[in-house]
Structure 1
Amino acid sequence: MTSSRLLSPLGVRIAAAFVAVAIAAVAVFAGLTLVSANDEVSRLVRETHHQDARAAAGAAAQAYEEAGSWEEADLSSAAAVAAR
């Protein structure tokens, strides 16, 4: 009685190649996802920093206008915005 194999040597090679291609595809997809997410997070952080800088500058300008000089200006609101 001969033992029957599930796959021939060629079948094993083809299955291994199929698994390797599937793993490579998942790895490429994961890499592209990480790059895309990193770019998006960087853009959002940059946008938030610009908005905070504009808000702090606006608060400082308003304090200056209300006080008439930098010596009398209450910059606590500008400092609070800048501390975010």
Structure 2
Amino acid sequence: MNAYQESLKIKRDNYSALESAELRGEQRGQKQGEQRGIEIGAELERAKAEREKREMAVKLKTKGMHIEEIAELTKLPIEEIQALV
């Protein structure tokens, strides 16, 4: 009977250790996933801002604004503004 009780205790201890390890792994994975999501969101926002700057530069150029002024306002290089339509 004692051997049986001891084997049950070992089995329960092992199960508890496994559950704890899985929980820690899930929590760690969730934190890493959240961080990656934040990074992707920041990258998308930067790309959107760059696209909007180029769109604004095109509009200003078509309205006849000087390229130097457009570069100053949009922080885009003059060469890049010259290449825009």
1:56 maps onto 2:15 in alignment: no
Distance in 1 separating the partners of 2:19 and 2:9: 15
Distance in 1 separating the partners of 2:32 and 2:49: 26
Gaps of 5+ in 2: 66-85
What is the TM-score normalised by the length of structure 1?
0.69
Q: Which 4+ runs in 1 deviate beyond 3 A? A: none
Distance in 2 separating the partners of 1:16 and 1:33: 26
Amino acid at match of 2:17: V
Gaps of 5+ in 1: 70-84
- The match for 1:17 is 13
Higher-helix-fraction structure: 2
Percent of paired sites with the same residue: 9
Amino acid at match of 1:18: N
CA drift at 1:22: 0.4
Distance in 2 separating the partners of 1:39 and 1:67: 42
Distance in 2 separating the partners of 1:11 and 1:68: 86
Distance in 2 separating the partners of 1:16 and 1:68: 78
